[in-house]
Chain A
Amino acid sequence: MGEKGRGWNLGLAGLLTPVTIWLGLFFLIPLLLILAYSFGTSGVYGGITLGFNPGNYLKVFDPLYLQIIGRTFFIAALTTLLCLALGYPLAYFIVFKGYRRRNLLILLVMVPFWTSLLIRAYSWVVILSGNGIANKFLQFIGVTDEPLTLIFTPEAVLMGMVYSYLPFMILPLYASLEKFDTRLKEAAKDLGASRWQTFWRVTFPLSMPGVIAGSILVFIPSAGEFVIPQLLGGSRTVMTGTLIQTQFGAARDWAFGSALSVMLAVLLLAAILFYVRRVGTDKLEGM
């Protein structure tokens, strides 16, 4: 194994060089820049002076910003949970009841990707705004006389995020359920497990890698999302992503924006590590 393994490594190294350079240039260097900026000092008219200034980080602990970060994580977690609750039954249905139409159905799940997120988010604005389709419909069926405030609420943000990220949950769930050996379901039933028990004792635990992958794929972009909260949340439902964007844009405080970015990244990493430890590792090993 040893010598052969070494030969392999050389070949592998060759294959890995381009991706290493690519990631180094476009991921690692900007990341280091952000890290450097986060300790810098922003000029009054923009621009940045490098140095060691922990003030940007201290500013993050301002209750105003902490509340935004807290809200971000709450909405991201709720988005993930809702995506799982909505996406699991669909993935299950496609895999076990889709038969020959499986591939078509999973393709349909990806249809929203064919339009840009921005356009889709704007269409939500059209639907939810004061005299939008949703309100007109509600008035028509007599639920309300006055237009309701549907847009610029946390619920609107949640709705938009779940809609946008649902496919990221469904695809990994589909992938892991597709590998599931249905004979295991028969074995469970044969051993006295009802359909419900079969699901919770066998099917669900064995789809855990999909649940974990899907959760991470939904949670990370949700926590960093800035388009949807901006369009559907307005100034009342600000999320960290929007806040960061403002720092790099209108506020011209790149140093604080960088510090917020680094904080968000660190917190996300911690959250995911915690999640995988709690639900994940054991089940991941079992595969």
Chain B
Amino acid sequence: MKERPTAQKPREGDQDSRREVAVALTGITKRFGEFAVVDDLNLEIWEGEFFSLLGPSGCGKTTTLRMIAGFENPTEGVISVAGEPVRGVPPYRRPVNTVFQSYAIFPHLNVFDNVAFGLRRARVPKDEIQRRVVEACEMVQLTGFEKRRSAQLSGGQQQRVALARALINRPKVLLLDEPLGALDLKLRKELQLELRNLQHEVGITFVYVTHDQEEALTMSDRIAVMNEGKVQQIADPSTLYELPKNHFVANFIGQINLFSGELESVDGGRVTLRSGEGIKIEALVRNGDTPEIGEQVQAAVRPEKIRFGETGENVCSVGVRQIVYLGVSTQYITEFADGTRLVLYQQNAHDSVGPEVGEQVNVSWDANHCLILGG
């Protein structure tokens, strides 16, 4: 069981010195013309890690990946792979392989020849190629498809070919650019687990690009959330979810309720703010943040941390406006007197009876679950 992170004991920034750095990006900026697509990016990706780059469309994820692969050169900064700076090293000499979003399967070659492509370029002996291709096809469950061309494969099968074709070279780092983007939801979920297991099996560092927050949370050891070319936060999934650094991260990962207000008191990691909704909210401050009394801040609380009743430090009265049944849980959309929304989830446990639409109810949450966001 993973311990749930708290503000007092953050995981991020944890310098795990035992681990080797597989990829290091230092001060990376990439400009196309005047426009900085990637802006002063600093990342350390550890060996054997499943690392995700997560962010909305156009935030520079693919560009970052292409710089690691060697298809683009950074305007500024240094990229190192396995400790070696790689500036000027062409893609075919870098110890990395890529699974492209479009798969880019060679249409004139069959599955076997596609998978064998990298080994043939490396002049691996014939019988070893034969053995390793068979092995790789087995690993991604493509046995029996060796003679097929890409046109005769489904999307999921093409994805596996792309994966086998890259993994067979035993790269130091495998780059994956939204490899599941083109697949339907069910297959995606299946392949997410498969990919994760595969990564554990082979122990290769994965750098995984996605704009799907759920996917990133399910699969990654650590995630870098990006927006407009800048890293917003780097952390493991639960820290990212429980302790988002700022408004953008909080909103991008899952749903969140935000309260703006002025700080009334500060006591170590604990603060009180007077929110616009006319309520007093007790909240936590992230380690290292030092807000001051009188400052305008935002407090955030996840919908599932709020419950009906008066059992937490923060209690307020809201009117129920809408109830959405979601199967596992029920979503209640409620409003304060001034019309500000508050969303909460209740698990659909057997004996729970919730309020009705139109009712005025008290809701509450713990100060521990309410976080002051940074800028």
Contact = CB atoms under 8 A, between A and B. Distances in A.
Contacts of B100: 183, 186-187, 190
Contacts of A188: 106, 117
Interface string B84-104: 000000111100111010101
Given A205-B108, A206-B108, A283-B108, A193 B117 contact: yes
Interface string A183-203: 110111111111001000110
Contacts of B328: none
Contact of B90 (A189, A208, A287): A189
A3 interface: no
Interface in A205-264: 205-206, 208
A160 to B, nearest CB: 36
How extensive is the interface on chain A, given as a class? 20 to 34
Interface string B328-359: 00000000000000000000000000000000
In the complex, which of the residues B97, B108, B118 has the most CB atoms of chain A within 10 Å of its own CB atom? Answer: B108
Contacts, number: 68
B107 interface: yes
B325 interface: no
Contact of A184 (B69, B70, B104): B104
Interface residues of B, number: 25
B92 A192 contact: yes
Contacts of A193: 92, 117, 121
B123 to A, nearest CB: 10
B240 to A, nearest CB: 30
Contact of B92 (A194, A205, A206, A283): A194
A191 B107 contact: no
B98 A190 contact: yes
A193 B121 CA distance: 6
A93 B117 CA distance: 26
Interface string B15-48: 0000000000000000000000000000000000
A181 interface: yes
A286 interface: yes
A189 B106 CA distance: 12
Contacts of A208: 108
A212 to B, nearest CB: 13
A190 B91 contact: yes
Contact of A206 (B91, B107, B117, B121): B107
Contacts of A283: 108
Contacts of A197: 121
B165 interface: yes
A190 B97 CA distance: 6
B104 A181 contact: yes
Contact of A191 (B71, B102, B165): B165
B173 to A, nearest CB: 12
Nearest to A204: B108
Contacts of A202: 106, 108
A81 B169 CA distance: 38
Given A189-B92, A190-B97, A286-B109, 5 more contacts: A186-B100, A187-B98, A189-B71, A193-B117, A206-B108
17 contacts: A181-B102, A181-B104, A183-B100, A183-B102, A184-B107, A187-B106, A189-B70, A189-B92, A190-B98, A192-B93, A192-B118, A192-B122, A197-B121, A205-B108, A206-B106, A206-B107, A286-B109
Interface of B: 69-71, 90-93, 96-98, 100, 102, 104, 106-109, 117-118, 121-122, 149, 165-166, 169
